Structure 1
């Protein structure tokens, strides 16, 4: 299972390093979005999806309110986002779990969850 990062102009690979993603965003004074879009492209329902700040005292800034069926999308509002780098956790009905550290939500406003 992969969490793919998608921007308006194309698909970014998971292997993009935090340094290469975060530095240009900081240099341009990027701001986190008010919401992001989650697309469940897996065959299992998405049961848990959480976005949290990083660091020693992480804070939950967004989550899905109810399970997301396969093939469906949902907008997740971010509660007081700060900075661009976030931790993302996804859990599915088939007991698959995936996480991504240092996801740049200033750049990646659509997250596709795939097999």
Structure 2
């Protein structure tokens, strides 16, 4: 049986990014953005659009028909994503504002 991708394996992701030519200096910010963008995508797409995407790619991924299981999983994945994004927004809005140049992240060009 083919193993599914492991999106939680940071070391493997870093290796793939290097193989793709990602500069070493961009790997940490790419990983950080990935952690934010994944729940953002699920939140923005919502349950129905995620389900449609999964259903549409079922044959390509050689998956059996599992509508009930997928709908249940998607419901909780989207709910998790919404919770994570709300927590992130709450933390960002409550973070102390600082004008110190030492506190600012470097700008990427």
Q: TM-score range by the shorter chain?
A: under 0.3
Where is the helix percentage greater, Structure 1 or Structure 2? Answer: 2
Normalising by structure 2, we get a TM-score of 0.24
TM-score computed with the length of structure 1 as normaliser: 0.23
Greater relative contact order, per chain length (Cα 8 Å cut-off, separation 6+): 1
Higher strand proportion: 1
